[in-house]
Chains A and B, each alone.
Chain A
């Protein structure tokens, strides 16, 4: 069975500060991991994904994530927060039949 756990339902950072959103996964098989972002009243937009290969994955808008098997983690980072980064972020692992298992989400607030 696959699942993900996002630590911290709300994260606040100052504009220009490091963004770190935490995600841990549980999977009985090698996982395929994803980060999505959701703006108010919108669908989910893919930020980045890990399937195989390089463990440091770069995504859109300056975000990146590192797959650490030993820690079962896939944390999302961005060196410098921008006001436009304020949104809800979801970590997900894919399972059979194109089913995604989503975390509960982390709401990011960027303080000017």
Chain B
């Protein structure tokens, strides 16, 4: 069974540009969450989608957005990139909406903003 797949693995962008990251969840998983990981702030929740609906959103500016498609694949977009957006972006998928469901993480996309 394939795991969570994130593409691309590495990205280098310039300030002011926008970027789109992709996440394919484990087959059958309908919940996809996104996290930002930085050395200073640790793991911070961005948002969660279930059945194409955003159910939960973290405390990030509107430049960060996402969506989920009918096949559960998800994308997140960051517009007007800032240097502080440099981070490892992790996607996680879960079987369902329950709190007991463990999250399975992808390997992440390392975004560097220069």
Contacts and interface: CB of A to CB of B under 8 A. Distances in A.
The answer to whether A and B assemble together is yes
B90 A99 contact: no
Do most interface residues of chain A lie in helix, strand or loop, or is the interface mixed? Answer: mixed
A36 B56 CA distance: 22
A43 interface: yes
Interface residues of A, number: 25
Contact of A105 (B42, B48, B92): B42
Interface stretch (A14-22, A60-68, A69-77, A88-96): A88-96
B56 A99 contact: yes
Interface stretch (B12-20, B61-69, B76-84, B101-109): B101-109
B99 A32 contact: yes
A95 B110 contact: no
Contacts of B105: 36, 43-45
Contact of A96 (B90, B94, B99, B103): B99
Interface of B: 4, 6, 31, 33, 35, 42-43, 45, 48, 50, 55-56, 58, 90, 92, 94, 97, 99-108, 110
